[in-house]
Chain A
Amino acid sequence: MQLEFIGPFEILLGLVYRFWPVWLALGILLALSLGFKRRLGLYGQLFDTGVGVAGVLICAFWLFTAIFADLVAPFAPLDQIFVMKDALPGAVEPETGRVFLLGGDKLARDVFSRMVYGSQIVLIIAPAATAFALMVGTTLGLPAGYYGGRVDTVLSFMANLVLAFPVILLFYLLVTPGIRETAIPQWLAGFFFVFPIVFFGTLFWTRFRSRPRLLAVQLAITVLLGGWVYLGLVFDADPLGIIAIEPNELNIFVAVVFASAPGVFRIVRSLTMDIQTRDYVAAAQTRGESPWYIMLWEILPNARGPLIVDVCLRIGYTTILLGTLGYFGLGLAPESPDWGTAIKESSRLLRAYVHPALPPVIALMSFVLGLNLLADALREQSLKD
């Protein structure tokens, strides 16, 4: 059966049209940001440079694409329409007259829709894993830098141990179907996911110890919320049934946190060692504040500049790591629409068909580029102050 095609210009028009909720949201965001630029602090200053605007727009574009994926994508990510197997871009599906804007892959799925749904997976796992890595790295990096000595030696040795592993080897050992039969991912998850609870608990405890009423409320919220998420993620036993995670996703998540936490640790440690020599730290010590109060309420807020930049870069790096996992077929399901898996699937058939490979490749590259540009602009701004 012969398929009908639409022209390149119509494809472009169709793509622009499909993204309409994203354009709308971007427009609102841009208008609000420019309108209230003065009051937005560091974020507002980003709009002073071209690099900053480009970074914000690219990141926001993918964020909104992930949020509105159901509206943007014309097909479900796993829909197979047999006649569209390996269809070239712009092919019209004969039954409903809808268009495969970027063509079909070898399993007759719409490449465009898969790319859009792939953004959801990437934009959930990458920032979340980075957030956990940040918690772990900060909670361990602060005492290592502050106390120095034996604490530092032991923690640094462990961090270097992980850093000496080539990432790919770590993933090949840690993300396998075999390891999911053992309890190791659960153990690691149990270990890592405790850190946010400890972090926030200590954070509130040190500051509000003298105001027991307020402290009780905050600690209760931390323990309840943290415990709820902890139960859901580690034991897959969320009493409300809202938070659930597949074993393979937990495995990936833990591996990515494991691989990037030592990097955060090193940065926090060196920042702490630097800031520790400042006068306001000495003043706090003279006031008789506890070490953890100084670390969390004096040192950490003053380390935020480099940390924000690092978080931006790290989300990009985590995206690349996720892509690597997908590319080697580790952890993610083979039919998963995430970009790395899509690149793996399509790069094998590059000789026959080029079109299924390019959308995920460009998507991944542009998202990481957006984050890197954002980090660069943030660094410029923080150097100005």
Chain B
Amino acid sequence: MLTFILRRLGVMALTMVCLTLVVFFLVNLEPNLKKLAISQLDMRSSQEDLESWLEANGYRQNFFVRYGQWLGVMPKQPNVDPATGEAVPRFRYCDEPAEPHYSGILQGEFGCSTKFKVPVAEKLFPALGATGILMFWVMVVMVPVSLLVGVLAGMREGTRTDRSLSVASITTTATPEYVSGVIFTVVFASWLGILNGSAATATSQGINFFNFTLPVMTMAIYGTGYIARMTRASMVEVMTQQYIRTARLKGLSFRQVVMKHALRNALIAPFTVIMLQFPWLLTGVVIVEVMFRYQGFGFTLVEAAGNNDIDLLLGCSLVSVFVVLSTQLISDIGYAFLNPRIRVK
């Protein structure tokens, strides 16, 4: 088990290096650098001004040197002002020491956000916290509802309850966030007028039922159907097993059979599915936060990508890739843990 986890962690580290290298390459393409330079100077700057700005701020160094600096395995040279000969920070809103130093991801330095004009950590981590709250409520709504629907549908295969719940689950899987968000906003905010159509106040005044229900509902609905269908399939399979028939023949009531014998075994597969939902939820987070103007991780990612804020975008990628890979790892370990047959192997 330990070697398994260690090997997985090794693969995970390798994957992260490869992916950040790709992201680093893409954000540092020539047109993107030019866009950054224009946004930092102004629209009328000449070609030479842009070039000298890029040169002065170290964007013209060798690609791998810069990646190494970002990673924290190469020293970052101080930025010397040619007029005075003194070291000045690249961006006035981020401090920098005057001697060569290692400051990268490995040292816990995420760099400097050019869009929000703060160090990346100051922007990224509060945003992650805000998204954490959203995710928490989504999970609180999504997991019980979907498991309940799945178990009810799979308990008696082929009945009318099963069919109608299955069609309902298929419908929710056909409803991406930007569709359900529009429908819910129209129904609950425009027509009934009971909920806020925007979660912008959630950031400033704290979350409450009125500004937070719509985002949570919108995000939960897409995943619910999928998890419910997986739970149903697993429940159907368990209900055909021999030990269920034995329990039934022994004279236990249907209710007891389901609660005591079927449920535990039927919930192993959905656990994996729920963990693997995180990458999907990440896309959902971006859509929902943009749609309802909630200042979380997704909102930050879109702002960073739209303005080619290199360090912030790299930070966002690192976080999201980390989330995806660690949930995969947890789901594998958890699956082995929950299912004794695999553990013994």
Contacts and interface: CB of A to CB of B under 8 A. Distances in A.
B282 interface: yes
A165 B324 CA distance: 8
B186 interface: yes
B241 to A, nearest CB: 18
B323 to A, nearest CB: 8
B283 A324 contact: yes
Contacts of A163: 279
Interface of A: 51, 157, 160-161, 163-169, 172-174, 176-179, 181-182, 184, 316, 320, 323-324, 327-328, 340, 343-344, 346-347, 350-351, 354, 357-358, 361, 364-365, 368-369, 371-373, 376
B314 to A, nearest CB: 11
11 contacts: A166-B283, A166-B286, A181-B30, A182-B30, A324-B176, A327-B178, A347-B185, A350-B182, A350-B185, A350-B189, A368-B175
Interface of B: 11, 15, 18-19, 23, 26-27, 29-32, 35, 166-167, 170-171, 173-176, 178-179, 181-183, 185-186, 189-190, 197, 279, 282-283, 286-287, 290-291, 298, 301-302, 305, 308, 316-317, 320-321, 324-325, 328
B85 to A, nearest CB: 36
B310 to A, nearest CB: 12
A168 B179 contact: no
A364 B283 CA distance: 18
A178 B291 contact: no
- Closest CB pairs A-B (n = 8): A178-B31, A172-B305, A369-B174, A368-B174, A166-B282, A173-B26, A168-B283, A181-B31
Contact of B291 (A51, A184, A347): A347
A38 B179 CA distance: 39
A182 B29 contact: yes
Given A343-B179, A365-B179, A168 B19 contact: no
Contacts of B190: 350-351, 354
B170 A351 contact: no
A169 B320 contact: yes
A323 B176 contact: yes
Contacts of A316: 174
B301 to A, nearest CB: 7
A179 B31 CA distance: 7
A361 B18 contact: no
Contacts of A178: 29, 31-32, 35, 308
B259 to A, nearest CB: 28
A367 B318 CA distance: 35
Query: Most B CB atoms within 10 A — which of A166, A364, A368, A376?
Result: A166
Nearest to A172: B305
B173 A327 contact: no
Contact of A164 (B287, B298, B305, B324): B324
Given A173-B26, A369-B171, A376-B166, 15 more contacts: A163-B279, A164-B328, A165-B19, A166-B321, A166-B324, A168-B282, A168-B283, A172-B305, A178-B32, A181-B30, A182-B30, A182-B31, A346-B182, A369-B170, A376-B170
A164 B326 CA distance: 10
Contacts of A160: 15
Contacts of A340: 178
Contacts of B178: 323-324, 327, 340, 343-344, 347
A324 B173 CA distance: 15
A172 B302 contact: yes
A320 B298 CA distance: 18
B278 to A, nearest CB: 9
B171 A357 contact: no
B302 A372 contact: no
A161 B283 contact: no
A365 B324 contact: no
Contacts of A358: 182-183, 186
B324 A161 contact: no
B283 A361 contact: no
A347 B182 contact: yes
Contacts of A167: 279, 283
Nearest to A351: B197
A107 B301 CA distance: 30
A179 B185 CA distance: 35
Given A328-B302, A350-B197, A368-B174, A51 B185 contact: no
Given A178-B29, A361-B179, A364-B179, A169 B316 contact: yes
B167, B308, B328 — most chain A CB neighbours (10 Å): B167
A343 B287 CA distance: 12
Contacts of B181: 347
A301 B302 CA distance: 43
B170 A373 contact: yes
A179 B29 contact: yes
A323 B287 CA distance: 11
Contacts of B283: 166-168, 324
A38 B185 CA distance: 47
A361 B279 CA distance: 24
B325 A164 contact: yes
Given A164-B19, A320-B176, A357 B29 contact: no
A358 B182 CA distance: 8
Nearest to A173: B26
Nearest to B279: A166
Nearest to B33: A178
A161 B174 contact: no
A165 B197 contact: no
Contacts of B189: 350
Nearest to B322: A164
A163 B291 CA distance: 25
